[in-house]
Amino acid sequence: MSSTETAPDASQAAEGTRFSSRHLLALVALLWTVALNPIAGLLSGTSQAEVAVHFRTTQIAWFTLGGALLGTFLTPFAMKAAAMYGKKRVMVVATSIGLLGDVIAAVATDYSTLIAGRVIAGAYGATVFIAYALARDIFPRKLVGTASGVLAASIGLVGLGGPFLSAWLIDHHGFRGALWFIVVSTAVCLLLQLLCVPESPVREAARRMDWIGGLLLGGGLSAIVYGIGEGSAWGWTSGKTLTWIGLGILAVLLFLPFESRAADPLLPLSLIKRRRVWTVFLAASVGAGATFAVGTVTMILTLMPHIPTMSDGLGWSATKSATVQSPISVLVIVSAIVTGWLARRVDTRILLATGGALTTVGYVVASQLHTEIWHFVLLGLISGPGMGLVIAVLPIMIIESVAPEEQALANGSQWLIQSVIQVVVSQLVFTVMAQDGVVMKGTQFYLDGGYSGGFLLVAGACGLGTLLVALIPKARRTDTVEAGQAA
């Protein structure tokens, strides 16, 4: 693809600075696609306390993390297929598979079937990075940053309205109502994708799928995720845990020399070797993965019952929890949208570091103050803008770092890294909280020290991500890169 550009006339320039009706429809469809994962995550997170008690399980972590298994396995294939055959086409297929998993989970009568459904639903995890990659292809250049910021703001939109919706569902219809709402949300998402999203004209020249490379990378990362997910149950030094994690690491290591010799590599190693690319992946994925993992602590803390000497949960209703935590969602939305504008004027490294510092401070404060309503308001005031900055600037930094034909591969690679980090941090949070907890009648309860430890663990991960920003070299601003091919 040539990067040669022609100077636009006045009318074309004006049109390129505002959203047309077709662009708005496409933005709504992509926004719903990006929001689908946090919608499902929020509803499952709100439901997990009730699910744990209903099914009498200590393995509740898989209810929220199960989708990461299939999502991690499929992402290498999805990002290559999107680059070869079209981003919309792959997005629709992944969403359709995810819808099947949602239905299975909604009708499940035992915990194993429920988890199987949640695992299958993880297929639409791959649609998030595809949506961000499509934004570069179908919006005018000067709107790419704004569109990416709006897509990132979806986590705040879901966080603002979603808790009240999930509260109503849980309080009146139980976890079944939440699961069926996920089914409806996925079905609407699929319809919007089919009707409103144009196919990207950007294609990779290679037309051959690297199946062996995909199995090594996707299978290896999935094995690592599974081993970590079971680590707290099997024991972190047990043979089963070390075997799964070890085999996963071995598969990923074998992927590297195999991929360097592949005629049509799944992921060009030359892309990952660029300093701007790998440093953005590392710093942003650590920060974003830890930020998303914090919901594990807050949801369980607010919704678990308060039972003296056994459970230090706050015992709030889902509605009260949603109301108290709404300020953080408002601030996430505002800061994420503003980030798209700021990225055209401020070095994105500064934005990422600022966001990371705010989330770090916020979670450190929460480790000591997390029992009163004003404590959560304070957490929102500090960490809300930070979270918005981190999640919104990440896709913009990737756009600044790669060529259009590399966008799907870059977004998919970053998503893989972030997903694994999120699973690792989330599972470690469960492990830390369980050290100061009690198992009663098959259900894991947590004491105050566990919640404090969970917040501190997330804060430490966010702090690490912030420090890693120093490794990232400067890049061109978003409005100077090649984009808007289908505009």
pLDDT tens, position by position, 312-347: 888 887 778 878 877 787 888 888 888 878 888 888
Tokens at 255, concatenated: 């992927």
Residue with tokens 């009707």: 195
C-alpha span between 390 and 307 (Å, rounded): 36
Q: Where are the beta strands (DSSP E) in 193-249?
A: none
Query: Tell me: the pLDDT tens digits for 191-224?
Result: 999 999 988 887 776 667 888 888 898 889 889 8
Q: What percent of the chain has pLDDT over 90?
A: 20
- Answer for the pair 414, 380: CB distance below 8 angstroms, yes or no: no
C-alpha span between 139 and 135 (Å, rounded): 6
Query: Hey, CA dihedral for 76, 77, 82, 83, is it positive or negative?
Result: positive
C-alpha span between 357 and 337 (Å, rounded): 19
Outline where 435-475 has alpha helix (H).
448-468
For residues 434 and 468, which has the higher predicted lDDT (pLDDT)? 468
Q: Which of 450, 419, 423, 429 is nearest to 124 (CA)?
A: 419
Query: Hey, CA dihedral for 459, 460, 461, 465, is it positive or negative?
Result: positive
The DSSP line for 56-118 is T-S-THHHHHTHHHHHHHHHHHHHHHHHHH-HHHHHHHHHHHHHHHHHHHHH--SHHHHHHHH
What's residue 442's pLDDT? 63
- Answer for the pair 92, 126: CB distance below 8 angstroms, yes or no: no
Query: Tell me: the pLDDT tens digits for 241-253?
Result: 999 999 999 998 9
**What predicted TM-score, i.e. pTM, was given to this entire model?**
0.72
pLDDT band at residue 465, thresholds of 50, 70 and 90? very high
Tokens at 384, concatenated: 């809300």
Q: Which residues pair with 155 in a beta bridge?
A: none
User: What average pLDDT does the segment 2-6 reach?
Assistant: 40
Q: Is the pLDDT of residue 359 over 90?
A: yes
Q: Phi/psi at 201 (nearest 5 deg)? A: -85, -5
Residue with tokens 């501190």: 456
For residues 403 and 451, which has the higher predicted lDDT (pLDDT)? 451
pLDDT band at residue 10, thresholds of 50, 70 and 90? very low
- Answer for the pair 122, 67: CB distance below 8 angstroms, yes or no: yes
Query: Tell me: the pLDDT tens digits for 364-417?
Result: 999 999 999 999 989 989 998 998 898 888 888 888 888 777 777 787 788 788
What's residue 134's pLDDT? 86
The DSSP line for 406-431 is GHHHHHHHHHHHHHHHHHHHHHHHHH
Q: What percent of the chain has pLDDT over 70?
A: 88
Query: Tell me: the pLDDT tens digits for 90-145?
Result: 999 999 999 999 999 889 888 888 888 888 988 888 888 888 888 878 887 777 77
- Window from 14-18, 69-73, 161-165 with minimum mean pLDDT: 14-18
